[in-house]
Amino acid sequence: MEHPEDKGREIADAIISAANCMGGSEVPAETVRGLLGCHRTLNQSITGNFILPFIKGMAQKYRDHDYDLRNEAAVKVCHLMWSAMVKEHGFDFDANPRLPLI
């Protein structure tokens, strides 16, 4: 029986593999198109369960000075996005960023 953490790692590895293209692949663009085209409830779930926690985690790396030149731009842009969500929508570093599902 597969454990949830094994499945999560498998999915993370697939995303990492798709992103590891150094600009010469259509895989990332097609992946984004596929995600954008899924059911609206799944859009909400993907954003709340993956995208927002990723942005929050990268923003935390900025706060902790846990980055270098290889990921500095990504960490900074996530910090800016998370700061805007805190300011404009009341998100917070200590709470899990959940979106409602209806």
DSSP states of 46-90: HIIIIIHHHHHHHHHHHHTT---TTTHHHHHHHHHHHHHHHHHH-
User: Which pLDDT belongs to residue 12?
Assistant: 93
Give 9-51 pLDDT, tens digit per residue.
999 999 998 888 876 788 888 989 999 999 999 999 999 999 9
Q: Do 32 and 18 form a contact (C-beta atoms < 8 A)? A: no
pTM for this model (two decimals) = 0.87
Give 41-96 pLDDT, tens digit per residue.
999 999 999 999 999 999 999 999 999 999 999 999 999 999 999 898 888 777 77
Q: Do 101 and 41 form a contact (C-beta atoms < 8 A)? A: yes
